[in-house]
Structure 1
């Protein structure tokens, strides 16, 4: 089946969260504020967070993510608290290979919401979507071997460590070579 014909929900609901595709114009300011507030933590692990983006750049990035969602190239969801409507972070199914089919999940959280289990809840929701609605055979989490919080999240969400690739990638800031942990969940 052509992936463009797949019915993919624009919103997912968990007990505490709403995961929404970035389909609404105007999400840029709230996402940008979270990036600014969490910059120190994000900068260590994420290449996109090496400089604080302008609000306009964040809005362009979200609109681009919406286009990729519609084209079935990746599925990014913005995470909001169900009761307070506060923006918590983002989670995505990305690096999609429709021939297998498989993908990777990526995520980041606003620092002030860290430690509450929100990201585990969000990752479990998109993994369920990926395995049971989109019929992926495999979903991966890749993270630096020094990123212990991401490793703990992968394990808590039911992913298995498949291995560590030594001298596999560059750090987020490009200053050193790092090892990459490969986690997966399969159907």
Structure 2
């Protein structure tokens, strides 16, 4: 399979959400505000959120995400609530191995919108999309063992906990070793 020849929709929809590829100028400003709104929670879990990025840095990151989308290296989607058209977070198919084929799903949500089931709904849609559209044979979700909110998502969606790798990674701030939970769903 030649990934560059794959037709990939720029938008997916669920009952309550729209998942859109980051391709509009100005996406960085909107995402940067969500990072600022959620900074303490994001900082605890994500290496990219150790310092507040500038709007220009966030815009650059999202333009690079669009390039990766076009190159079929990863597929990042911005998540919007249909009812309000408000941006709430991102989710992506990343670490793609087209030879297997398999990938990993990553995600984060604006803290103000957590606890409403939005991220579970978005990850469910992306999982179905990956398994059916790309025919991925395996989709993984990896998260720190103490990140219970993140772990709840694959557990609710029927992913299997394959194991916990002890001392597998560094904490987001790089200060200590952490354990990583590996979840997967296969087709």
Question: TM-score range, shorter-chain basis?
Answer: over 0.9
What is the distance in 1 between the residues matched to 2:116 and 2:2? 38
1:42 aligns with 2:49: no
What's the TM-score, normalizing by structure 2?
0.99
* 1:97-151: CA deviation from partner (whole Å, max 9, x where unpaired): 1110000000000000000000000001111110000010000000011111111
Please give the per-residue CA displacement for 1:34-65, whole angstroms capped at 9, x wherever unaligned: 00000000000001100000000000000000
What is the match of residue 100 of structure 2? 100
Give the unaligned 5+ runs of structure 1.
none
SS at match of 2:185: strand
**Count of residue pairs the alignment pairs up:** 187
Gaps of 5+ in 2: none
Two-structure CA RMSD over aligned residues (Å): 0.5
Structure 2 CA distance for aligned equivalents of residues 148 and 113 of structure 1 = 16
In structure 1, the partner of 2:148 is: 148
Q: Which moved more, 1:65-74 or 1:149-158?
A: 149-158
Is 1:135 matched with 2:135? yes
The equivalent of 2:65 in structure 1 is 65
2:119 corresponds to: 119
**What corresponds to 1:26 in structure 2?**
26
Q: Which residue of 1 is the match for residue 159 of structure 2?
A: 159
Deviation at 1:20, TM superposition (A): 0.1
